[in-house]
Amino acid sequence: MLEARDLTKSFGSGERIVDAVKSVTMTVADGEFVAIVGRSGSGKSTLMNLLGALEQPTSGAIAVGGQDIRQLGPRQLVQYRRRSIGFVFQSYNLIPTLDAIENVMLPMEFAGLDRRERLERARSLLDQVELTGGKQSRKPGKLSGGEQQRVAIARALANRPALILADEPVGNLDTQTSATIITLLHSLAHSQHTTVIAVTHDLTLADRADRLFRLQDGRLTNHPAAATSTAGRRETSPTP
């Protein structure tokens, strides 16, 4: 589904160049749930921005579904992000003046779907993430953090993307709500064959993933001494 080869992202110039991501190589399969863990400043968010084509790499290659996204022009990149990628953010990034249904409908409007289809799919997706009834008509300010994250996940699924990129998706949530969101992401990968890549500090989310990568100082590293999950998942080297 996704392959990154020797991916590097540098900032600054001259003697002040900083490599936020350094020669990252990784492969993620279709329908796989992958977690990337690392300390603040390790390069996790930069790596996600590269995978989602929000930033261009300094060097290296990224292929999604066999397509080299470095070869896409500006308009093609917009279409790629719109149709192939679903983004889920720690801060939800919902539009406060729109209710839950309208937030989920918005990506479909950009994709050119008619209003009836947008409305039906938005309601179905919100039902799927268990935000039902009158809550679908509430604006984000009237929803709890967990409910807002459910809306964000439904919005990420609006255009049927092959890949979900989740940046600290449970970072602002309590333990019980986090468990619900983690189960939902796990189900998306295993039941609907949507590839999910999540960067996280949350060890519960990491333990539920099919594979676990660790990012340290911009490099993917393997830490075999770390705990192994009861499901048999183990931390993996950058090139599986």
What CATH number did the domain enclosing 81 receive?
3.40.50.300
Residue 143 counted as domain residue: yes
Residue 239 counted as domain residue: no
Residue 232 counted as domain residue: no
* pLDDT (tens digit per residue) in 82-136: 888 899 888 889 999 999 999 999 999 888 889 999 999 999 999 988 899 999 9
Q: Round to whole Å and give the CA distance between 47 and 53.
A: 10
Helix (H, G, I), strand (E, B) or coil at 4: strand
DSSP structure class, residue 55: S
> How many domains in the chain?
1
Report pTM: 0.84
Q: What pLDDT does 234 receive?
A: 45
Residue 50 counted as domain residue: yes
Locus of tokens 């397509």: 67
Residue 228 counted as domain residue: no
Rg (CA), the chain: 18
Residue 88 counted as domain residue: yes
Residue 227 counted as domain residue: no
Residue 226 counted as domain residue: no
Taking the CA of residue 13 as centre, how many other CA atoms within 13 Å lie in the half-sphere pointing to its CB? 0
Domain hosting residue 70, numbered range: 2-221
For the chain, give the percent of residues with pLDDT over 70: 92
